[in-house]
Amino acid sequence: MAVTPKYTEDDIKSLEWKEHIRTRPGMYIGKLGDGSAFDDGIYVLLKEVMDNSIDEFMMGAGKKIDITLKDGVVTIRDYGRGIPLGKVVEVVSKMNTGGKYDSEAFKKSIGLNGVGTKAVNALSISFKVTAYREGQAKTAEFSKGELIRDAKLVKTDEANGTLVEFKPDDTIFKKYHYVHEYLDRMVWNYAYLNTGLTLTFNGNQYKSDNGLKDLLEKNISGEILYPICHLKGEDIEIAMTHSNEHFSEEYYTYVNGQYTTQGGTHQGAFREAIVKTVREFFKKEFEPTDIRKSIIAAVAVKVQEPVFESQTKTKLGSNEIVPGGQSIRAFIGDFVKEQFDNYLHKNPDVANIILQKIQTNERERKDLAGIQKLARERAKKSSLHNRKLRDCRVHLDDRKNPRHVETTLFICEGDSASGSITKTRDVNTQAVFSLKGKPLNCFGLGKKVVYENEEFNLLQAALNIEEGLDDLRYNNVVIATDADVDGMHIRLLLLTFFLQFFPDLVKNNHVYILQTPLFRVRNKKETAYCYSDEERKAAIAKLGPKPEITRFKGLGEISPDEFKHFIGKDIRLEPVVLDQRASIQELLSYYMGKNTQERQEFIIDNLHVEKDVEEELIK
């Protein structure tokens, strides 16, 4: 008979603020990660400090922010009002302490919970803050949230503001690295959303004069149907156009300068408002999908007390806006109804282009209707979840992805690779999709091919992205192919499929390449897996003379027992990141179009020959 454990006062534990943050970091910054994903913890730490500096600018204090990143140390210097000198230590180390509880001191700030810098402090091996105010400076230094130096006030010639310097704790953020493209995009977003602010990141200047219009111009790839429509009002800014090349909707939405990657109330309100305004303008009940297909838009609103669905603030949950207590839905709806309707009346040429686009979308939708129906039936008949997809338990219990659960889909080539991953994966959160040979090169083909091609149809169904990313079933889509010529070709074919028909999947940082070891170096006591020739040489030097060296030719050669090391907590993922200045169609044309002399020269110049490595292994 089971004995019920005792439950007494001795079982009740109280953790100090820093211990709680370090014990449960996910509650404060979301996932940890190693820097491969744009929302990994090291970027959240940087953002939490930056948000405070941005709040100063939004309150009219300071017009520049300097950011540096060197040897893993982040330094952020703003020129705002500076933390009140007598509260410097408390503001960064005492929970529920901060200026954002005073709505007059910080109106429309990004965060209201007073947690941000405390989390950065607790999760950093070193954290230093200096406040400059009216000729005086106050510095405090911490390590893992523990105060190690509380300096006295000193005189200074520095301008007012705050300087924060921190280095993430590598015992929490293991083997972390910063991806420059993520940082570049983050800083640019701050610039677009704060016209008049000058940011300097590692010596490079970021500044925007036209706000969201500049943002769209930098992010749009390929041709657009009409010049960007740019609308600005009190607490709201919108920029939008329609693409001539994309098949889906694409949105960049922000609340008080925070990039809400998962959208929320404001994005839903904008989508509804565009449909309603267009219907009323043309006096026709067009289908919403026909109106919004190929739309590219950026929407930014300012809310006095935003409520987000998580500490990382990626989705807006509140539906109130101050002043007036008007709902965000009504506020955006009224603004779009008035301003976009006026724009259409003043620009009849643009209105006619939009009408033609809607009518084209309508015809295409009707043409595809029969094919779509047959494709869906074929997907059901082919027993998708038994033959092609080994799903994870999260989705077997719930057909839609619970956003708070981090899920991964591995796309593999062949039965051997998919078999090894299937046997060693985390069945709760990791799924496997097995390809049958090389996918079709879909460059230049229409959306029709997605439904006619069995492989693409089943992959689309597995991801649940037919109508966009709202119900995307996996946070991470990982291409797991051999690191040989055939494997590289399959990667290109899959990326062509995603970029051609679902570019948002790549643009929103959901697609990765699985890095697997090229070599195994071992002796009787120790085994090292090496992902490069440099790591192989280091392992040989460490393990001593004549260790056993194995060169992995493909994923199928790696046993399931070994594979568990490569897709577990130490998984190495290389993010697929698009250059914001790149045209998707130009990229696809270069890599996947007809063979050109330019591409032949590129291949010859960048050909990697492994002959020397092979000869060394033989020795």
Give the pLDDT score at 487.
Answer: 86
Distance between CA 465 and CA 469 in Å, rounded?
5
- Of 7-11, 122-126, 463-467, least confident by mean pLDDT is 7-11
**pLDDT of amino acid 102:** 45
> What is residue 24's predicted lDDT score, i.e. its pLDDT?
85
Is the pLDDT reported for residue 407 higher than 60?
A: yes
More confident residue, 579 or 237: 237
Q: What percent of the chain has pLDDT over 90?
A: 44
Asked if residue 153 has pLDDT above 80, the reply is yes
Query: Please, what is the end-to-end C-alpha distance for the chain in angstroms?
Result: 65
Report pLDDT for 5.
64
Could you report the per-residue pLDDT of 223-232, keeping only the tens digit for each?
A: 899 999 999 9
Give 504-539 pLDDT, tens digit per residue: 898 888 999 999 888 999 998 899 999 888 999 999
Best mean pLDDT range from 119-123, 403-407, 433-437: 119-123
Average pLDDT for the chain = 83
Percent of the chain at pLDDT above 70?
Answer: 82
The lowest-confidence range among 86-95, 255-264, 381-390, 543-552 is 381-390
Residue 167 has pLDDT above 90, yes or no: yes
Nearest CA to 408 among 97, 19, 31?
31
Query: Residue 90's closest CA among 24, 15, 17?
Result: 17
Q: pLDDT for 44-66, tens place per residue?
A: 999 999 989 988 998 888 899 99
Pick 325 or 3 by higher pLDDT.
Answer: 325
- Two tokens, residue 250: 């694409």
Question: What pLDDT score was predicted for residue 426?
Answer: 92
Q: How many CA atoms lie within 13 A of 508 on its CB side?
A: 24
Which pLDDT band, with edges at 50, 70 and 90, does 119 fall under? very high
Predicted confidence at residue 262, as pLDDT, reads 74
Q: Is the pLDDT of residue 107 over 50?
A: no
pLDDT for position 611: 45
Give the other-Cβ count within 10 Å of 2's Cβ: 4
Cβ atoms of 473 and 462 closer than 8 Å:
yes
407-427 average pLDDT score? 87
Flag the least confident range among 281-295, 328-342, 360-374, 511-525: 360-374
Q: Which residues pair with 204 in a beta bridge?
A: 201
pLDDT tens readout for residues 361-378: 999 888 887 777 777 666
DSSP assigned state of 264: B
Tell me which of 609 and 202 has the higher pLDDT: 202
Q: What is the DSSP string of 318-365?
A: ----SSTT--HHHHHHHHHHHHHHHHHHH-HHHHHHHHHHHHHHHHHH
pLDDT band at 582 (very low <50, low <70, confident <90, very high): low
Domains of the chain (ranges plus CATH)? 17-206 (3.30.565.10), 212-365 (3.30.230.10), 382-516+553-594 (3.40.50.670), 519-551 (no CATH)
Burial grade of 511 (CB within 10 A; 0-12, 13-18, 19 or more): buried
The candidate with the shortest Cα–Cα distance to 512, out of 557, 475, 482, 547, is 475
Mean predicted confidence (pLDDT) in 23-31: 83
Q: 418-439: buried (b, 16+ CB within 10 Å) or exposed (e) per residue?
A: bbbbbebbeeebbbbbbbeeeb
- Determine the average pLDDT of the residues in 24-37: 85
**Residue with the larger pLDDT of the pair 122 and 405:** 122
User: Global pTM?
Assistant: 0.79
| 184 class by beta-carbon count within 10 Å (0-12 exposed, 13-18 middle, 19+ buried) | middle
Pairing of strands 389-390, 511-515: unpaired
pLDDT number for residue 278: 97
Predicted local distance difference test score (pLDDT) of residue 241? 96
- The confidence score (pLDDT) of residue 197 equals 95
pLDDT greater than 70 at residue 15: no
